[in-house]
Amino acid sequence: MRSFIAIDITSEVRSVAEDVISKLKKMGFKASWVSPENLHLTLFFLGEIDKEKVELLAEKFHRRLIGFPSFSFNVNEFGFFRFKHLPRVFFLKVEQSKILQTLYLEMRSEMKKLRISFDDKGNFVPHITLGRLKYSPENWEELVKDIDVPKMVVPVDKVIIYSSTLTPSGPIYKWMYRVKFEGGLDKNE
């Protein structure tokens, strides 16, 4: 099954993301836009992985993250990744913090021990993807420079392992495991 590990976001962030996507559409950008219910902060994309390995990973995370302190991160800007001179991905920027980086490294270490492969570019750039671009107007940089995003705080007390089923109308995400920092592992039967 296709799966990934993520942190959920708040309804406020979803609402702001919807507004930003709406503005981008009106400006003429065409993209595979992420639907509001699918917005999240991806920690790791695992790709195709056996259900048993996902279960083992959830158990290992459960043991490793017990007592990890709850924290929050800030979402405070609009951004993009570019390829050559064009934007490839639009996103909301997540302010990097030491505790978010520590969480990422703890989980990364556990996955390496289990020899679970994941999309590892070596540099964790936390962000909330809004869309993958298919077309951009010529003056795109001028258009996006005025997109304003208010500072928002997202509380974090768990990580979630999702399955991702691709359909013609877009991916369907379903949570499989919720690993809570206070202890506790919820399984979606």
In tens, the pLDDT along 39-60 reads 999 999 998 999 999 999 999 9
Using pLDDT thresholds of 50, 70 and 90, give the confidence band for residue 121: low
Classify residue 34 by its DSSP letter: P
Residue 15 has pLDDT above 80, yes or no: yes
Beta strands in 8-151 (DSSP E): 30-33, 41-48, 71-83, 86-94, 127-135
What pLDDT, on the 0 to 100 scale, is given for residue 28? 96
What pLDDT, on the 0 to 100 scale, is given for residue 54? 93
Indicate if 127 belongs to the active site.
yes
Q: Domains in the chain and their CATH numbers?
A: 2-187 (3.90.1140.10)
Catalytic residue among 4, 34, 127, 173: 127
What pLDDT, on the 0 to 100 scale, is given for residue 117? 82
Q: Which residues does residue 32 pair with via DSSP β-bridges, in sequence order?
A: 132
What the block records as the tokens of 25 is 């559409």
**pLDDT: is 122 or 81 the higher one?**
81
Catalytic residue among 40, 54, 128, 144: 40
Using pLDDT thresholds of 50, 70 and 90, give the confidence band for residue 171: confident
Q: Which among 68, 74, 129 is positioned nearest to 103, based on CA atoms?
A: 68
Sequence letter at residue 79: G
Indicate if 85 belongs to the active site.
no
What pLDDT, on the 0 to 100 scale, is given for residue 122? 65
Contacts of 84 (CB under 8 A, 6+ apart): none
Unique residue bearing structure tokens 């800030």: 74
Q: Please, what is the angle between helix 51-65 and helix 98-113, to 10°?
A: 130
